[in-house]
Amino acid sequence: MKIAGTIPGAIPTKISVQAADFDVGAEFAALTAEHTDIGGIGCFVGTVRANPTGPRLEALTLEHYPAMTERAIAAIAEQAAQRWPLLGCTVIHRVGRMVPGENIVLVLAASAHRQPALDATAFLIDWLKTKAPFWKQESFVDGSATWVDARETDDAAAARWAPGRTG
């Protein structure tokens, strides 16, 4: 599903949960088209990484409940728009089966200045990792599979953005 439009806070926003890959350059161009007021864009691209120390990863499969996931991502983007003076935001998260090296997530946050754009990008990815409802399963070349548990390091990263904190 794609949500395009304006987040309450009046910023152009694109949110998409999709199986298809995305083109970072095309998304960057769409965010900045006809916007001469943007002075900085924070960007994060997450990719499927192979497991360097354990069994060889064959694929990562992400599952979600569409309505719940899209609402959660929209709420996270709205939080970012309330905390930083953003001029635009793009969040694309893939679902389905992906192999090592493929894109999983794209976060772009545009602002008049670099620091708000970078802070909002860090906030968005930290909160996506901990507050957006996705279920991840790793499948290995030996035929085994395991569900990925939440990581304490992700929770710690998200905690720095608790209300009243700025990162």
Helix/strand/coil percent split, the chain, to 5: 30, 35, 30
- 2-159: CATH superfamily: Molybdopterin biosynthesis MoaE subunit (3.90.1170.40)
Containing 11, the helix (H) or strand (E) segment is: strand 11-18
Write the pLDDT tens digit of every residue in 25-39.
Answer: 999 999 999 889 999
Whether residue 118 contacts residue 107, with contact meaning beta carbons closer than 8 Å, is answered with no
Nearest Cα to 158, choosing from 123, 119, 116, 118? 123
Backbone angles phi, psi at 39, to 5 degrees: -110, -15
pLDDT of 118 strictly over 60: yes
Q: Taking all residues of the chain, what is their mean pLDDT, rounded to a whole number?
A: 88
- Interval 51-76 mean pLDDT: 90
pLDDT of 3 strictly over 60: no
Distances (CA, A) of 90 to 22, 47, 103, 113: 12, 17, 15, 17
**Domains of the chain by residue range:** 2-159
Q: pTM for this one?
A: 0.87
